[in-house]
Structure 1
Amino acid sequence: MAKVIGLGGIFFKARDPKALASWYATHLGLSIEGWGGTRFDEDEQRAGYTAWCPFAEDTTYFAPSTQPYMINYRVDDLDALLAQLRAAGVQVDDRVEDSEYGRFGWIMDPEGTRIELWQPPVAG
């Protein structure tokens, strides 16, 4: 059975993402990268990391959800998990994105929250 293997990231809407990221850098020591967020490497033996990133208040990246946040989970087999979820009647986005950062798919939970599923690229 394909499954979640860790938290991939927390993404949330902010009135001023750059100012908020700067506040977190100044007061909590987060190292903000050029893409506007930070990443936490937990385990060098396992692919992936946890990302933290504020998005513009008017972002459509979380759509169709109206929630002010989106959670990203690391998964072991994106295609198998998406097939399992479809078979279970979960609302699954038809789009799957392949990039240098890995593979991404999206679902909606019963509360209307968009969930991003991320299969990191194979390390090596």
Structure 2
Amino acid sequence: MTGLQAFTVGTTALHDLDPYRFPAARLGEDLPEPASAALGGTDVDGDYPLPAPDPASRLSIPLEPADRRRLELHAALTTAGIAPMPGDLDAIAVLCRLDDSTHAALQRWIHHFA
């Protein structure tokens, strides 16, 4: 085969696309849920839904303040649509060692400018 090959854009080509790699290929389609998955059993692929977590089985280990602030900072950045670069993790660790009032101001700035 020589030259460029044109890809078909018909409906059969859209059905052949992997929905995990190309999520837009399945938009607009109302695919029925497999009956066994709707009943809580395994679906066609042998996968099954996970049960809801039991609050009584949670560990009662409190987070360190720096760990709590790190999680809150990551959540604030994610909510604002800011993806930290790999080199930013050291800066995030340093920022999370600051006190709660400084951390609250940092989150306020993120939410204000996002």
1 or 2, which has the higher helix percentage? 2
TM-score (norm 2): 0.20
TM-score (norm 1): 0.19
1 or 2, which has the higher strand percentage? 1
